[in-house]
Amino acid sequence: MHNVHVQTKSISEHRAPFYKRAFSAFVSEGRLPYQLKLRLSRVYYWRKLSIALFHFVRWTPPVDSTETSDLEIVTLLDRANVNAYLIGIKSFFFYARRRARVTVLSDGSITEAQLKLIKKHIRGVRIILSKGGRVNVPHLSSRLQKIYDEHVHTRKALALPLDDLKDTIVLMDSDVVFCDWVDDEFTELRNVDLKYNRDHDHRLFDPLFHVFERFLSRVPVKREVYNLNSGLLIFRKHVLNVTLVAEFLLYLEARDQLHAVMEQDSYALLASMVNSEPLSDRYWVGCNPDHMNRPETWRNAIAKHYVGGVRYRNLDYVRDCWRAMWSVRRGLNVDLGV
């Protein structure tokens, strides 16, 4: 009975008004509760500002997903980033002047209203509902399915329809925004199979990256890639060796080392197996110390990847998305290229 009483009290306290919980935490524990600390931070309000301003993307012209193009843009998307994604994909069409087929991998959280919004603003878009999907990797499906179900970001590789992809694929996160004219070499893969956003050297900054290194020593590689950021990738369809990705994920599971950015490690693995090279520094990455420490790199960027840790550190992300929306609104109706 005593345990029941304690549990009931805990639930009651949890349901108390916010101001009572905040007062109790301050008086009895001498600390500010997390929600109060959050609401006293700039990050909280800048994120709220972005949510309000990004709704204006709904007043920008729609874009067309083109089935006949040889280029495909793929994004894994959740409900919190739908408006930001629409800004990003429209800014690509505006600044790249390229036709492309657009594919959205829904993580399962996107609402019906949001699906209708996406279809309205990207006419002909292909939406794949990745939640509940089945892994189709010969001899490994049953062992891999649990990883696929529980770790959403693994679907950036495992949920792609391998038999129905264009020859050139752009993998683009929803927090990427284009800010200037895209150079002709961006989608040019004549001499390489894969191009990637250049990040920091993960061996120096990421404690779990040694697991990737150990697995890499077991397979033949062309060039060891340690500085890949998977927020923006351009590659040939044949690069997608899903069986190799599956083996890597199972390797991590066997060692109880599945982690939050293992999909990025998976693409670093694929990049190590083929001819690959980094994009120029005009493709800015928000967690790359080289980019963060050189303001001119940020100012001159063609595309910016605002990763979670820096997205609302200041108003830069909100300003860049606002400027992209205005550029799109004024000029998206021009004819696109091939």
Convert the pLDDT of each residue in 104-162 to its tens digit: 999 999 999 999 999 999 999 999 999 988 888 878 888 899 999 999 999 999 999 88
What average pLDDT score do residues 12-17 get?
Answer: 55
Q: Is the model's pLDDT at 184 over the cut of 90?
A: no
* CATH tag, 52-331: 3.90.550.10
Output the pLDDT for position 142. 84
Answer with the residue of higher pLDDT: 289 or 142: 289
Rounded Cα distance, 279 and 234, in Å: 9
Rounded Cα distance, 242 and 157, in Å: 7
Output the pLDDT for position 90. 97
Output the pLDDT for position 64. 96
Output the pLDDT for position 40. 57
What average pLDDT score do residues 32-45 get?
Answer: 61
Answer with the residue of higher pLDDT: 329 or 266: 266
Output the pLDDT for position 298. 95
Whole-structure pTM value: 0.86
Question: Worst-scoring range by mean pLDDT, 5-9, 56-60, 83-87, 159-163?
Answer: 5-9
Question: Worst-scoring range by mean pLDDT, 33-37, 202-206, 274-278?
Answer: 33-37
Output the pLDDT for position 141. 82
Share of the chain above pLDDT 90, in %: 71
Answer with the residue of higher pLDDT: 313 or 41: 313
Output the pLDDT for position 304. 97
Q: Is the model's pLDDT at 19 over the cut of 50?
A: yes
Given pLDDT bands bounded at 50, 70 and 90, which one contains residue 214? very high
Q: Is the model's pLDDT at 87 over the cut of 50?
A: yes
Q: Is the model's pLDDT at 215 over the cut of 90?
A: yes
Given pLDDT bands bounded at 50, 70 and 90, which one contains residue 2? very low
Output the pLDDT for position 50. 85
Domain ranges of the chain: 52-331
Q: Is the model's pLDDT at 281 over the cut of 80?
A: yes
Q: Please give the single-letter amino acid code of residue 167.
A: D
CB 322 within 8 A of CB 49: no
Kindly report, residue by residue over 199-213, the tens digit of the pLDDT: 999 999 888 899 999
Q: Is the model's pLDDT at 195 over the cut of 60?
A: yes
128 φ, ψ to 5°?
Answer: -110, 120
Q: Is the model's pLDDT at 63 over the cut of 90?
A: yes
Answer with the residue of higher pLDDT: 7 or 209: 209
Place of tokens 């120096």: 204
Tell me the pLDDT of the chain averaged across its residues. 88
